Structure 1
Amino acid sequence: MREEHELFLTEGPEEFENFQITNEDVPLKEGIAYPFIKAIQMVNNRLQETNPEEKQLFEIILLSTHSAEGGVRIINSVKHYDIPAALMLYHEYRTADEHLKVAFDGDSVLFSDETDVVFREQGLDEVIKYEKDREHVPIGEGPLKKFAMILGEMKKKFSPENDPICTYLVTARSGKDLGKRAIKTLRDWGLQIDEAFFMAGAPKGPLLAQIQPHIFFDDNLHNIRGARAHGIPSALVPSCCN
């Protein structure tokens, strides 16, 4: 992302974000770390060929200090190069301790439980197909959507540098297969989330310990317990899929 990063530095975050959205179907060019990532994938593949049940594998986590709004292009690039990575999108200037920090799970919390129901009844492969078929259809509203929208309205009263509210999406979805529809839904709602973390099923507790939100909403009791084990105030959102 050298060219894109240069645009970010010279023209600012707004022009960069507009450029990313306009070009979201154009894969990013291979970067200097690309051969390293492909070599890691090769080792993982060889290990799994030797033992399909192998658990000691490399985990790839892709970090970007740019907004979740421009994240669709990154997701498309991850899919283009077939990189199975957890994806984390965050603003580098969101660091002050005086922020109000609110973290939301995705499905059954910020979004409706429609994808959770498909997963529970038909499995992961059908979920991936379901999401791909409905990529341009916003996900239904979840029980915490209205609260998130109110926070979003408050945020618009401040400049980005002086915004005292930080909102986070911390979802078990993978960025590669299930991230695009989530980001496009937020865009359709006009809801800007400061930082988005697509955990690809990884535990949320350690990440939340780094974010230190004032409150975390999730519909999964296991995730709630994991967050509380790291001292994070958490609220269980009732769901039919619990």
Structure 2
Amino acid sequence: MATNLDGQLVVAISSRALFDLEEENRVFEQSDDRAYMKLQLDRLDQPAKPGVAFSLVKKLLAFNTDAKRVEVVMLSRNDPVSGLRIFRSAEVNKLPLERGVFTKGRAPYDYLRPLQANLFLSANPQDVRAALNAGFAAATVATHAAHAKNSYPNEVRIAFDGDAVLFSDQAERVFQKDGLDAFQKHERKLASKPLPPGPFMPLLQALHRLQQAGTPHIRIRTALVTARGLATADRAIRTLMGWNIEVDEAMFLGGLAKAEFLRDFEPDFFFDDQTGHVDAAAQHVPAGHVASGVSNQST
């Protein structure tokens, strides 16, 4: 019988999201793929350093202590030869990766469906947009972002923006078209009507299932970090209740900058649809851009 990934949380991740390959990437951008491949081959026995999403991946894999609950798959535009270095780097860093797809420059997102991926993390914005358009939770990793601290070694900490990430951009469209007052009136009027799901709702569901499966060694702690104020918190909370999903923390910041709050929450990763929020957060925590919703239509 063929192996399958049914019931597992599947994370597909590119090599630059998992490891620090920015120096090698500059060679690729300034020269050609042959020079890049030669450099990777020359460094075959030199493990790449952990990248921005490394902490998230390492902690998620810790859920596999007594049963296989999480699968992390390399999904990379690298060539297979360069892929050798990635797997060796994973082995040195004690990441038990079993699978990888290397496409030598071709867009890899078509393989998300057979992988049953719950999340795709990449440093390539075009691949991320294509994955989002195909219905997958995906984010462009800010490769310049701060790495996660190790203050909570037994918790996977993940923070999400609300509108256009966990929820649809329905309310955000009202805000951008008609302003704050119209947005608040709209959300109060529809407080009892759940928001449509956004691209990351299925991931939050999968994390919720993973948390319920449980392990004594590690747990998940989630946070909703939104620019909404308390005047419009009702609908967001009711929406999560309607999905039968709990978040551990909810920050309704009423327009305050998110970065300082994220610095103190110390997530292993933060997802937001606005590049300004991602760049500010990246000064303190690992962060990624979700190119969905009205804020990203012209970018």
TM category (shorter chain) comes to 0.5 to 0.7
Structure possessing the higher radius of gyration over alpha carbons: 2
Where does residue 133 of structure 1 map in the other structure?
189
Q: Show the counterpart of 2:199.
A: 143
Question: Structure 2: 5+ residue runs without aligned partners?
Answer: 1-150
Determine the C-alpha separation between the residues in 2 that align with 1:126 and 1:240.
19
- Which of 206, 211, 214 in structure 1 is aligned with 2:268? 214
TM-superposed CA distance for 1:154, in Å, is 1.1
CA distance in 2, matches of 1:228, 1:167: 18
Structure 1 length as normaliser, TM-score?
0.57
Matching residue's letter, 1:180: D
Higher share of residues assigned helix: 1
Q: 1:168 aligns with which of 223, 226, 251?
A: 223
Q: Which has the higher strand share?
A: 2
Match of 1:187 among 237, 241, 260: 241
Specify the code of the residue in structure 2 equivalent to 1:143. P
1:171-209 CA-partner distances (Å, limit 9, x unpaired): 00002x110110000000001001111111101111111
Aligned partner letter, 1:211: F
Q: How many residues align?
A: 145
Structure 1 unmatched ranges of 5 or more: 1-94
Q: What is the distance in 2 between the residues matched to 1:240 and 1:141?
A: 12
SS at match of 2:280: helix
Equivalent residues of 2:157, 2:268 under 8 A apart: yes
CA distance in 1, matches of 2:208, 2:217: 14
Pairing partner for 2:175 from 95, 99, 119: 119
User: In structure 1, what is the Cα distance between the partners aligned to 2:176 and 2:209?
Assistant: 34
The 3-state SS of whatever aligns with 2:163 is helix
Deviation at 1:155, TM superposition (A): 1.2
Runs of 4+ aligned residues of structure 1 deviating over 3 Å after TM superposition are: none
1:237 alignment partner in structure 2:
290
Q: Name the amino acid aligned to 1:191.
A: I
Which AA in structure 1 matches 2:214? F
Contact 1:155 1:163 in 2 (8 A): no
User: Which letter maps to 2:255?
Assistant: G
Q: Give the corresponding residue for 2:156.
A: 100
Query: What does 1:42-61 align with in structure 2 at a 5 Å threshold?
Result: none
2-side partners of 1:96 and 1:239: how far apart? 30
Q: Tell me how far apart the structure 2 counterparts of residues 139 and 240 of structure 1 sit (CA, whole Å).
A: 14
